[in-house]
Amino acid sequence: MCQVAPAAGMNQALLTGNYVYQYPDARNTFTQQLEHVVSIDFDLDAGRWGLRTDVSTGVGYLGQSDLWGVMAMPCANVTRKLQFVGRYTFLDSQDPNGLRLATYDKRVVSGLGDRYNELYLGANYFFYGHKLKLQTGANFADMDDRAGDGGAYSGVAWTTGLRVSW
């Protein structure tokens, strides 16, 4: 999520690295079967605009292909309450059928693919910062399927939701 500047003129930049190890478990049905995951994230808040980026890679186990991906999410703060957001995501699987679609898209196409591109354009309206906000936007997604066994997808979706956190 792009951050809203804490006060006029206050800027910040943050670079982080993350590593996750997951014990290979054949009974794991909760998360992707990735043993090692590494990501480098950059978050820039320049007041009226911001940028968040992520470069990640994961090493699969028990048939899950190795994955890597990049994401860039710029945002523009029109007012303290209204923000426009864009996002580009690219994911690539080393082997055919290494990628699954996200929650709503996989209801349309249940197959697996190997290369995913996504563009999102939307807006956030903040009632109480990121703890209570209305989000809406359009998602343009495309997934290739080298194996040709039902995972190809190209579609547009519109999602609106009220997000609450504490």
Residue 55 has pLDDT above 90, yes or no: yes
Contact call for residues 3 and 36 (beta carbons, < 8 A): no
pLDDT single digits (tens) 128-138:
998 999 999 99
**Predicted local confidence at residue 134, as pLDDT:** 98
pTM over 0.85: yes
Fold classified for 12-164: Porin (2.40.160)
**Domain regions of the chain by residue span:** 12-164
30-34, 102-106, 128-132: least confident range: 102-106
Residue for token digits 């940028």? 51
**Predicted local confidence at residue 160, as pLDDT:** 96
Question: Per DSSP, which regions of the chain are E strands?
Answer: 12-21, 34-45, 49-60, 67-77, 82-93, 115-126, 132-144, 153-164
Contact call for residues 3 and 49 (beta carbons, < 8 A): no
